[in-house]
Chains A and B, each alone.
Chain A
Amino acid sequence: MNAPASSAEIQSLQAKQAILVDALRPFLADDALLWQPEDTIPYECDGLAAYRKMPLAVALPENEEQVVNILKACKALGVPVVPRGSGTGLSGGAMPIEQGLVLSLAKFKKILQVDPFTRTAVVQPGVRNLAISEAVAKHGLYYAPDPSSQIACSIGGNVNENSGGVHCLKYGLTLHNVLRVRAVLMNGDVVEFGSMAPDSPGLDLLAVLIGSEGMLGIVTEITVKLVPKPKLARVIMASFDDIEKGGNAVAAIIAAGIIPAGLEMMDKPTTRAVEEFVHAGYDLNAEAILLCESDGTPEEVEEEIARMNAVLEKQGASRIQVSESEAERLRFWSGRKNAFPAAGRIAADYYCMDGTIPRRHIATLLKRIKGMEAKYGLGCLNVFHAGDGNMHPLILFNGADPDEWHRAEEFGTEILEACVELGGTITGEHGVGIEKINSMCVQFGEQERERFWGVKAAFDPDRLLNPDKAIPTLNRCAEYGRMRVSGGVLPHPELERF
């Protein structure tokens, strides 16, 4: 939440804005450079609307040469640049910087090439995730990573966040499905990471570029891997009268040597919220509902469904239903897919978390979240990618009440810290952005954070690309630690405080 600016600060910002706009005008069309508040306000936040900032200006280039020129101009002026795709990110990664430029890739929306023989597509970063699968469906192929926002989110954003989705347990994350990325570095150099070959010379910089939250380069072209569309998919919906039994069933399926195409779980409060919304026929008495999908040839699916059924029965499922048609399969999934809007119906606001834990600790974390609900006086729905332990607790609150928002933030932070304590991570697919930057101080030590800054400096020595996101400074962690004095011991006592 922004503090009111003084008139001197406003004047200084206006002067910087005028200089920036003058520098960018020569190579951008009139409608591709925005700086009036009424034009830039739609860019003040991404999908994490709780954090907002107005940028100095927004640039909407339509080709790589313009991107090069924008970056060179910003580098010369020392103006930070925040890249933005569709703005569906949930961690504030595309939130503007007050003294910076937002560089929107929204006009980069061409599918440049589809090659069914090499099972690849070359696309621009503004292409929507789902649009790729739609464009290649006629070849019997699709692009596997399927974040829940795939109707709207862009592939460039997926690269920056290393996005996953329901199918990533079997088919991998963005990292596993991108062969090559063309990007512009902050100094204007155009470089290619990865290639169409299975490997490339030098260190594997593609791996570090993917998921770098727009802090290392501006992505201008992506080559994705396409995979054959399975002939059939069926889903098992299993009910459990105990959340622990559901968690154990997840581990048992994997231990039986099965990697389902999707393995998702919802707790009772979620099931009740979504059933009212989608009427999927969920078992409202179940403490946990597990959705296990199998895909492949009809023979494969039949074999795998039978094996999963046997495991679920052995693990004490109280009710098991297998989809008998595509319509029924989609109905079973409808609740899981609509959990977020359902949460929006039962609470004024909700705050979606994104920690990952080892599968065997799912029940432990869910029980701890129950305790936190009482502690913070807020409800929480649990819906998650059980197959890979990626949890998405939805903390319900009323944003009009500052105290509730504060409690929701604290609640979320405690969940993430519990994830780290259980051997997991503070983010599985949404990214750190601005939202979880303090929690990075919990997951990583000072030396690791310093090396992260070293990686950043290797690509962007002046720290101008999306700075202040994802990687906390030493001082920030010290300050965060100071706020969390434990046992009277002040963390990092050697550091100056700001």
Chain B
Amino acid sequence: MNETVLSRFREQIIEAGKQNQVLSIQGGNTKSWYGNPSRSPILSTKPYQGILDYQPEELVITACAGTSIAEIESILAKNNQILPFEPPHFGDDATFGGVIAAGLAGPARISAGNLRDFVLGTRLMDGRGEDLSFGGKVMKNVAGYDVSRLLPGSLGTLALLLEASVKVLPKPAATASLRCRMGASDALKILNEWAGQPLPLNASAWIGDAGGEGELTIRLAGAKAAVTSASQMMQDRLGATVLDDSEADLFWRNLREQQLSWFSQMPNHHALWRLSLPANCPVLAMPKDCLPEIIMEWHGQERWIQGPANQSTANVLQKLAIQHGGHLTCFRSLSTEAFERFTRLDSNPLTAGFEAVQKRLRHSFDPFGVFTTGRLP
């Protein structure tokens, strides 16, 4: 069955190459809004499904790109294991391949690491229709260039991901979530100080007025003894209250899936902007027209802002991000106006030099431009 699907993929890619046609790779169509808009014909990975290998004691799962991410998380949960990067689904139909191609990680990213850190190996089909395998299923492997880790975040602009092997981890023995009120600046200070201490800090989210007070939620995860003692310390020092387990689960899931009311109340003419910033970035004054209320995740290194969906807002926010050593993404927008969704490589002198490298790299995998949707510049 899967061999037939692979043959169809190959034919579709080769034919597209011959016809100078571009293909937009799509899994469950749950993140099609992410990235620069593309109207290219679809290559659907949905038919290529299945968990191919899962040995809990090896901490590795291998699955086809079209496999439902919920199915993968469910089988891991039965073995008390998790995808540590906590990927957002953004819909019930989210696929394993879509999660990897989007390269997004959830609240635990700040402590667990990024999605790409967990990718061990991939099988992919390049723009010639060639079926290639890189990396593998073992934790340590330095044979050849680490091509597998080019796929996360590539948004289907490099090659068609067929299969991937990712590292999984045991579910933490204990978790606890705490909440308190404080200003953004104090939150940044305390979170980064604690991150430098041996504490089981797993995730953080501060929601509030950038210039005023807000609500800080912290998740601890690790050994029972460590979580208990850190939880007590935070209650004592911050007067934080411990959240009920079900309330905590719901909060972190809604944050990850952007289902909190802060996200759903976005006006139509606004976009959701994402700033990725160094740990020492201070509280930023919100530009004119942007909402004063923001969300800061990852100890302040990921910040969500709502503001007008247009090029001039993109320019202002991008300048702000680059000034502080980070970058900007227009994460969601209902606007049809054409503007840059990502910080371009040539907009920052430190990264401009590798634009030519990236172009040659893409050409090597996709000489006929079958995957040049432009979703990722």
Task: Tell me the A residues contacting B by CB distance below 8 Å.
Answer: 115-120, 139-141, 161-162, 164, 168-169, 172-173, 175-176, 185, 189-193, 195-205, 207-208, 210-212, 216, 226, 228-231, 251-252, 254-255, 257-259, 296-297, 299-300, 302-304, 356-360, 385, 388-390, 423-432, 436, 440, 443-445, 447-449, 451-452, 454-459, 461, 470-471
Q: With an 8 A cutoff between CB atoms, is B195 at the interface?
A: yes
Query: Are B223 and A425 neighbours in the complex by a CB distance under 8 Å?
Result: no
B145's partner among A197, A208, A388, A461 (CB-CB below 8 A) is A208
How far does the Cβ of B236 sit from chain A's closest Cβ, in whole Å?
16
Task: Check B153–A140 contact: CB distance below 8 A.
Answer: no
Among A185, A425, A428, A454, which residue has its beta carbon within 8 angstroms of that of B364?
A: A454
Residues of A contacting B302 with CB < 8 Å?
198
Q: Is the CB of A423 within 8 A of B138?
A: yes
Is B224 part of the binding interface, using a Cβ–Cβ cutoff of 8 Å? Answer: yes
- Contact between B280 and A118, CB atoms less than 8 A apart: yes
Q: How far is the CA of A396 from the CA of B150 in the complex (A)?
A: 39
| A359-B144 contact given A117-B192, A423-B138, A459-B357, CB 8 Å threshold | no
The one of A356, A449, A452 in contact with B139, judged by C-beta atoms closer than 8 angstroms, is A356
B353:A208 contact, CB within 8 angstroms: no
Contact between chains at B229 and A299 (CB < 8 Å): yes
Interface Cβ pair total, 8 Å cutoff: 278
Which residue on A lies nearest to B302, using beta carbons?
A198
- Can you list 10 contacts pairing A with B, beta carbon distance less than 8 Å? A140-B198, A195-B350, A196-B326, A204-B150, A231-B198, A300-B222, A358-B137, A432-B142, A451-B126, A457-B364
Residue from A172, A303, A424 within 8 A of B136 (CB atoms): A424
Q: Are A427 and B137 in contact (CB under 8 A)?
A: no
A257 touching B171 by the CB < 8 A rule? yes
Bound form: Cα–Cα A200–B134 in Å: 23
Q: Which of B144, B222, B348 has the largest count of A CB atoms less than 10 A from its CB? A: B144
**CB contact under 8 A between A302 and B225, given known A201-B343, A455-B364:** yes
Q: Is the CB of A455 within 8 A of B361?
A: yes
Q: A196-B280, A202-B345, A459-B357 are in contact. List 15 more A-B contacts (CB 8 A).
A: A117-B192, A195-B350, A201-B344, A204-B103, A205-B357, A297-B225, A303-B225, A304-B223, A388-B140, A425-B136, A425-B141, A427-B142, A428-B142, A443-B144, A451-B147
**A residues near B143, Cβ cutoff 8 Å:** 425-427, 432, 436, 440, 443-444
Given that A203-B153, A358-B138, A454-B365 are contacting pairs, would A432 and B144 also be in contact in the complex, using a CB cutoff of 8 Å? yes
For B353, the chain A residues whose CB sits under 8 A away are: 185, 189-191
Closest residue of chain A to B149 (Cβ to Cβ) is A207
- Shortest distance from the beta carbon of A64 to any chain B beta carbon, whole Å: 13
Chain B residues with CB below 8 A from A360, complex form: 55, 57-58
- The answer, yes or no, to whether B283 is at the interface (CB within 8 Å) is no
**B80 at interface by CB-CB < 8 Å:** yes
Taking CB atoms, residues of chain A closer than 8 Å to B80 are 257
Instruction: Report how many residues on chain B are interfacial, defined by Cβ distance under 8 Å.
Output: 89
Give the most central of A200, A229, A304, A449: most B CB within 10 Å. Answer: A200
Note all chain B residues with C-beta closer than 8 A to A297.
198, 223, 225-226, 229
Known: A117-B193, A202-B376. A455 touches B147 (CB 8 A): yes
User: A448: which B residues are within 8 A, CB to CB?
Assistant: 132-134, 144
Question: How far apart are B204's CB and chain A's nearest CB, in angstroms?
Answer: 13
B113, B139, B149, B351: the one contacting A200 at CB < 8 Å is B351
Evaluate contact between B351 and A201: CB separation under 8 angstroms: yes
Given A172-B113, A455-B361, A115-B280 contact (CB < 8 Å): yes
Interface centre among A201, A226, A358 (most CB of B within 10 A): A201
Residue B262 interfacial (CB < 8 Å): no
CB-CB < 8 A to B108: which residues of A? none
Q: Is B36 among interface residues, defined by CB-CB distance under 8 A? A: no
| List of B residues within 8 angstroms of A176 by Cβ | 113, 117
Please, what's the 1-or-0 string for B291-327, where 1 marks a CB less than 8 Å from any CB in chain A? 0000000100110000000000000000000000111
Stretch of B63-71, B213-221, B271-279 with 4 or more beta carbons under 8 angstroms from chain A: B271-279
Q: Give the residue of A190, A207, A231, A251 whose beta carbon is less than 8 angstroms from that of B116.
A: A207
For the complex formed, measure the closest distance between the CB of A207 and the CB atoms of chain B, giving whole angstroms. 4
CB distance from A413 to the nearest CB of B (A): 14
B354-368 residues at the A interface, CB under 8 angstroms: 354-355, 357-358, 360-365
List, in ascending order, chain A residues with CB within 8 A of B361's CB.
203, 205, 454-455, 458
Q: Which A residues lie within 8 Å of B109 (CB)?
A: 198
Question: B286 near A: Cβ within 8 Å?
Answer: no
Is A451 in contact with B140, judged by CB distance below 8 angstroms?
no
A207 / chain B contacts, CB cutoff of 8 Å = 116, 146, 149-150
Residues of A near B279 (CB, < 8 A) are 117-120, 196
Contact B170 A259 (CB under 8 A): yes
Q: Which residue of B lies closest to A390 (CB)?
A: B140
From the candidates A172, A210, A300, name the one contacting B223 in the complex (CB within 8 A): A300
B48 at interface, CB cutoff 8 A? no
Inside 8 A of B326's CB, which chain A residues have their CB? 195-197
Of all chain B residues, the one with the shortest Cβ separation from A116 is B196
The yes or no answer to B268 lying at the interface (CB within 8 A) is: no
Residue B15 CB within 8 A of the other chain: no
Q: B376: which A residues are within 8 A, CB to CB?
A: 202-203
Q: Are B114 and A199 in contact (CB under 8 A)?
A: yes
Q: What is the chain A residue whose CB lies nearest that of B109?
A: A198
How many Å lie between the Cα of A464 and that of B348 in the bound state? 28
Please give the distance in Å from B299's CB to the nearest CB on chain A.
Answer: 10
Tell me how far the C-beta of A437 lies from the nearest C-beta in chain B, rounded to whole angstroms: 10
Q: In this complex, what residue of B is CB-closest to A163?
A: B142
Once bound together, how far apart are the Cα atoms of A217 and B229, in whole Å?
A: 46
User: Contacts A257-B173, A356-B138 given: A198-B198 contact, CB under 8 Å?
Assistant: no
**Chain A nearest CB, measured from B154 CB (Å):** 6
Neighbouring B residues of A444 by C-beta, 8 Å: 143-144
B28 within 8 A of A: no
Task: Write the nearest CB–CB distance from A189 to chain B, whole angstroms.
Answer: 4
For B352, the chain A residues whose CB sits under 8 A away are 191
In the assembled complex, B56 has its CB within 8 A of some CB on chain A: yes
Q: How far is the CA of A304 from the CA of B345 in the complex (A)?
A: 46
Whether A203 contacts B146 in the complex (CB less than 8 A), given A388-B139, A425-B141, A447-B132, comes out as no
**Which residues of chain A are within 8 angstroms of B363 by Cβ–Cβ distance?**
458
Q: Give CA–CA (A163, B173) in the complex, Å.
A: 30
Residues of A with C-beta under 8 A to B180: none
Q: How far is B350's CA from A359's CA once the two chains are assembled, in angstroms?
A: 41
> With A and B bound together, what is the CA distance between A72 and B141 in angstroms?
33
Q: How far is the CB of A184 from chain B (nearest CB, A)?
A: 10
Could you say which residues of chain B place their CB within 8 Å of the CB of A443?
Answer: 143-144
Partner of B149 from A116, A208, A458 at Cβ < 8 Å: A208
Interfacial chain A residues near B198, Cβ < 8 Å: 140, 228-231, 296-297
Alpha-carbon gap, A211 to B141, bound state (A): 10
CA distance A135 to B97 in the complex (A): 42
- 4 A-B pairs with least C-beta separation: A454-B364, A299-B225, A257-B170, A191-B353
Query: Residue B197 at the A interface, CB < 8 A?
Result: yes
- The residue from A201, A300, A430, A449 contacting B225, defined by CB atoms under 8 A apart: A300
How long is the Cα–Cα vector from A424 to B137 in the complex, in angstroms? 7
* Residue in contact with A195 in the complex, picked from B134, B325, B342, CB distance below 8 Å: B325
Q: Beyond A195-B327, A423-B136, A448-B133, is A139–B158 a contact (Cβ under 8 Å)?
A: no
- Closest B residue by C-beta to A196: B278
Contact: B117 with A452, CB < 8 Å? no
List the A residue with the shortest CB-CB distance to B171: A257
Contact call B141/A258, Cβ cutoff below 8 A: no
Is B248 at the interface (CB under 8 A from chain A)? no
